[in-house]
Amino acid sequence: MPATLNPERGAGLAEPRLTGEARLAQLARDKVRRKRRERTIETVLLAAACVSVFTTLGIVYILLKESFVFFQEVPLWDFLTDTQWTPLFSDARFGIVVLLSGTLTSSAVALLVAIPLGTIIAIYLSEFAGHKTRETLKPVLELLSGVPTIIYGYFALLFVTPILQKLIPGLPGFNILSAGLVMGVMIIPYVSSLSEDAMRAVPMSLREGSYAMGATRFQTAVHVVVPAALSGIASAYILGISRAVGETMILAVAAGMQPQLSFNPLEPAATITSFIVQVALGDLPHGSIGYQTIFAAGLMLLLLTLVFNLLGYWIRRRYREAY
Amino acid sequence: MSASTITLPKQPPPLKAESRGLDFYYGSFKALKSISMPVFENHVTALIGPSGCGKSTFLRCFNRMHDLYPGHRYVGEIGLMPDAVNVLAAEVDPIEVRMRISMVFQKPNPFPKSIFENVAYGLRVRNEKSRTYIEDKVEAALRGAALWDEVRDRLDEGGANLSGGQQQRLCIARALATDPEMILFDEPTSALDPIATGAIEELIGEIRKKVSVLIVTHNMQQAARVSDFVAYMYLGELIEYGETKEIFMKPKRRETEDYITGRFG
Amino acid sequence: MAAAPGAGSAPADAHADLRRMIRARKRRDVLFSVVGILSLMVGVLTLLALFVDMAITGAPRLTPEFFTSFPSRRAGQAGILSAWVGSILVMFVTAFFAVPVGVAGAIYLEEYAKKNWFTDIIEINISNLAGVPSIVYGLLALGLFVYTFGFGQSILSAGLTLALLILPIVIVATREALRSIPQHIREAAYACGASRWQVVSHHLVPYGMPGILTGVIIGMARAIGETAPIITIGALTFIAFLPPVPLTGEPPAGLFDWLFSPFTVMPIQIFNWTSRPDPAFHQNAAAAAFVLVLMTLAMNGLAIWLRYRLRKKLKW
């Protein structure tokens, strides 16, 4: 590189620039332009940030709008108390509890798997596992939650169900148990990852206090760390519940789409979510009662998940331990 | 709250900036109490005082750095000559202030860009398009920061690859590139080794020929070496101001003398 | 712990008891470790079983013809051409909307927004939407995009829906990336006289690129596997044609014919084949599932690699 960047003009000399009045005028023009540009940019960015608000408003609006039409046809009382769900029959019945029973049963099976296993895994990774083990196994868990749910559906129907049928004679090809078990495994990472974060946030000083008393690792984990991380663990559970209630494809593929009011996981059943899929797969004239039914079901689903989200939020707010 | 003791030189040099009755609030906490003092053109003014006395807070008023954080409130004025504009006025755009007053920070903070782009940044921000102009200014600034000979063969390398002392000189070059009227130094050598410190002090001595300098330092010896005027602050107030020789040899206030002789600090 | 002086009677016994109790508790530690590893194995083995089953069942179908054939009533001739083309086109639309809106929204929330009730509402919304089941997004799309806006059961509707779905992911990742940039870099840029947008566009977005890109890729990996919302807006499950090639056709409207075309995507094709009783179609489903999982894994892997690579170049 030469001794200076612009050798033809000698070292360090700049070309003459605007001075005096002209310079001030230039500066004033620049300033006006800059202010206008900054204001426009800020407005655009604000609009982008508001898209999420519009999404929520859109969801609420569309669900309410179509459900409103639905509830003109179907009394709310019937909707909540009828024990049959046959919306597409000529003698249509709209008892949402039928679908709710499916959602409840499948979620219960899933959570019976996800919550114990997820908690144990979280405790193990946070309190027992060495650094290397943790770093190797955490990505694997993340993978578990990254697999598309349709593939889990395939797995439930074509791998798990045949195995279960050997263990439980008479198990129908479509059943809640199979779907629920696979759902449970899929939800494990949600529970374990948040619980683990909560446990790792517990300061070492609490653990040291326990170890100093002669406690073992297991005792420290169970008696000190878990209680100290309770709010985080609770909201992890709530996240798992929310996820189970909202799951669609695994159930649509493996649980059959027969709405029945039953809590027996060994039978097929329809959930709120799989019902919506079933209807959407068929041909539904826009504006028919069948079309509006899925919005009413969707409204129910949204209310359910909203309740759980709020519960989780409230638990975090109320019981958050500040370290 | 006692009044400040200000001793102006017999023939004061031209004024570059002047704070008049400056109060500063962080939320409801009054961090600066009625500071009035001059900053003379082409001279080095040092702000000294124990930790927490408000010297950095005062420094950062000059280029409206506090505007970046909520809860700030300025009361009073800082006038910038020759047009006597009140830098703190709400109508005055902080960006314009920062285009006239540059800053060098305590911990060197070059951008993760090339050396050339670091120095050129101030010019780019002013919409400067001419490549030759930018190159000339970058070279002049790097020479002015005594860094040119060391980096001229690697202007495209990352600024963060330099040593601590070089990084700080790079930040000084960045501040010089836009021909500021004033440069604020916020404890520029506290993160550097003694040799790098010496180089920076020498640089400041050169820089002041073209630029007015206001420097915060907790190192009294540095203030004595580098500055022409010294202001001693304590608990948000200006206790005493005067020429460096006077302050260090014959301080007028008891508080100043206590600090300078190390009776506390 | 030692027997008190003068406590006399058989201190040796007390020690033996204590040691036995300690050993029992330590055994519980080991037992729990075993239980922990076994629990982890449930997840690992499930993944393995899934993979192996898909690979073995589907491998015979993974021929070049599989990728270049349309679905067919004959299992042996069916392929995923319309599915993977549809997936790519939908992903393109998704990214086109989700990336600018998500990054811009995150920039606003991190660098511009003041702490007031309005900002709180936006933030509550974003965390809420992350918990809404994906099928509800499908309902939103059906009512709003397909009918009210009239986009029909098209690639455009699908892309918009998925964009809304992954928006919280992109926003959160971008905010994290911006937050990790140290404050002194911002101060240095402002001190040079930069305006807020200049600080954002010259410094924050470039330096935050690793995190932003990671979030975008993870969002896309999620979107590519989504089935429920796409079914709800009515993607047909038997599509034996391709959408018109983008940007061909008569301008101006013809350039965008493809946006409004009926289509299918990989997850839907898998769903269709899985739902058939004929085991030959199950083979196809396994093969397609294998391809889909590979695509998802590749994207996640790319995100991790990118984050590592780009992070090395940034030093402060």
Tell me the mean pLDDT in the region B77-84: 90
B17, pLDDT greater than 70 = yes
In CATH, what number does A85-319 get? Answer: 1.10.3720.10
Q: What is the pLDDT of residue C254?
A: 59
Query: Which stretches of C59-182 are DSSP H helices?
Result: 64-68, 81-107, 117-129, 134-140, 155-179
How many CB contacts within 8 angstroms connect chain A with chain B?
38
CA atoms within 13 A on the CB side of C154: 18
Q: What is the DSSP letter of B103?
A: E
- The CA distance from C80 to C269, in Å, is 7
Q: What is the pLDDT of residue C153?
A: 85
| Cβ(B78)–Cβ(B63) below 8 Å | no
Q: Do C231 and A281 touch (CB under 8 A)?
A: yes
Name the residue among B133, B222, B211 with its Cα closest to residue B172.
Answer: B211
Tens digit of each residue's pLDDT (9 = 90 or more) over B203-245: 999 999 999 999 999 898 999 999 999 999 999 999 999 999 9
- The CA distance from C268 to C289, in Å, is 10
Tokens for A268?
Answer: 């097929």
- The CA distance from C300 to A291, in Å, is 37
Q: Which of A62, A248, A306 sits opposite C228 (nearest CB)?
A: A248
Angle between helix C117-129 and A289-319 (nearest 10) = 120
- The CA distance from A119 to A99, in Å, is 29
What distance lies between CA C15 and its chain's CA centroid?
57
Q: Do A143 and C300 touch (CB under 8 A)?
A: yes
Does the predicted TM-score (pTM) go above 0.95? Answer: no
**Which of A4, A5, A30 would you mutate first to test chain B, the one with the most B CBs within 10 A?**
A5
Q: Do A48 and C101 touch (CB under 8 A)?
A: yes
Q: Alpha-carbon torsion C268, C271, C276, C282, what sign?
A: positive
Tell me which range, A15-19, B3-7, C144-148, C169-173, is most confidently predicted by mean pLDDT: C169-173
Tens digit of each residue's pLDDT (9 = 90 or more) over C21-47: 888 888 888 999 999 999 999 999 999
pLDDT > 90 in chain C, percent: 48
Q: Do C105 and A128 touch (CB under 8 A)?
A: no
**CA closest to B140 among chain A residues:** A12
**Which of C80, C101, C136, C190 would you mutate first to test chain A, the one with the most A CBs within 10 A?**
C136
List, as ranges, residues 13-52 from A with C-beta within 8 Å of B: 13-15, 17, 27, 30-31, 34-35
Tens digit of each residue's pLDDT (9 = 90 or more) over A50-59: 999 999 999 9
Please identify which residue in the block is written with the tokens 């030093």. Answer: C315
What b-and-e string marks burial along A243-265, b requiring 16 or more CB atoms within 10 Å of the CB? Answer: bbbbbbbbbbbbbbbbbbbbeeb
Please identify which residue in the block is written with the tokens 């500055």. Answer: B227
User: What's the complex ipTM?
Assistant: 0.87
Largest CA distance in chain B: 56
Tell me the mean pLDDT in the region A240-257: 92
Q: What is the pLDDT of residue C6?
A: 46
In the structure, what pLDDT confidence band is assigned to residue B138 with cuts at 50, 70 and 90?
very high
Q: Which of C186, C187, C192 sits opposite B125 (nearest CB)?
A: C192
CA angle C25, C28, C31 (to 5 degrees): 160
Provide the 10 A C-beta neighbour count for residue B33. 17
- The CA distance from A169 to A163, in Å, is 10
Q: What is the DSSP letter of C201?
A: I
| Cβ(C227)–Cβ(C86) below 8 Å | no
- As separate numbers, helices (DSSP H) first and strands (DSSP E) second, chain C gives 12, 0
How many CB contacts within 8 angstroms connect chain B with chain C?
67
Q: Does C234 touch chain A (CB under 8 A)?
A: yes
Q: Which of A137, A182, A253 sits opposite C271 (nearest CB)?
A: A253
Domain residue ranges of chain C, discontinuous segments joined by + = 14-61, 62-313
**Cis link prior to B82 (omega < 30° from 0)?**
yes
Q: What is the pLDDT of residue A12?
A: 39
**Residue partners of C304: CB distance under 8 A and separation at least 6:** C214
Q: Which of B96, B140, B155 sits opposite A31 (nearest CB)?
A: B96
CA angle A164, A170, A172 (to 5 degrees): 70
Q: What is the pLDDT of residue A10?
A: 42
| Secondary structure element (H or E) that encloses residue A246, with its range | helix A230-246
In the structure, what pLDDT confidence band is assigned to residue A285 with cuts at 50, 70 and 90?
confident
Beta strands per DSSP E along B90-142: 101-104
What distance lies between CA C85 and its chain's CA centroid?
19
Tell me the mean pLDDT in the region B137-146: 93
- The CA distance from B265 to B70, in Å, is 30
Tokens for A9?
Answer: 């003009």
Please list every residue in chain B whose beta carbon sits closer than 8 Å to the beta carbon of residue A3.
Answer: 152
Domain residue ranges of chain A, discontinuous segments joined by + = 20-73, 85-319
In the structure, what pLDDT confidence band is assigned to residue B4 with cuts at 50, 70 and 90?
confident
In the structure, what pLDDT confidence band is assigned to residue B69 with cuts at 50, 70 and 90?
confident
| Cβ(B193)–Cβ(B165) below 8 Å | yes
Please list every residue in chain C whose beta carbon sits closer than 8 Å to the beta carbon of residue B119.
Answer: none
- The CA distance from B109 to B170, in Å, is 9
In the structure, what pLDDT confidence band is assigned to residue C166 with cuts at 50, 70 and 90?
very high
Q: Does B93 touch chain A (CB under 8 A)?
A: yes
Q: Do B105 and C187 touch (CB under 8 A)?
A: yes
Tokens for C286?
Answer: 């396994």
Q: What kind of architecture, by CATH, is found in domain C62-313?
A: Orthogonal Bundle (1.10)
Tell me the mean pLDDT in the region A203-223: 87
Instruction: Lowest mean pLDDT of A147-161, A188-202, C63-77, name the range.
Output: C63-77
Angle between helix C266-274 and C279-313 (nearest 10) = 150
Name the residue among A48, A4, A75 with its Cα closest to residue C108.
Answer: A48
Q: Please report the domains of chain B, with CATH numbers, ordered by start residue.
A: 5-260 (3.40.50.300)
- Does residue C63 or residue B1 have the better pLDDT? C63
Q: Does B168 touch chain C (CB under 8 A)?
A: no
Tell me the mean pLDDT in the region B4-21: 91
- Specify whether the backbone of C193 is left (phi greater than 0), alpha (psi in -120 to 50) or beta: left
Q: Does C198 touch chain A (CB under 8 A)?
A: no
List, as ranges, residues 204-243 from C with C-beta within 8 Å of B: 207
Tell me the mean pLDDT in the region A69-78: 87
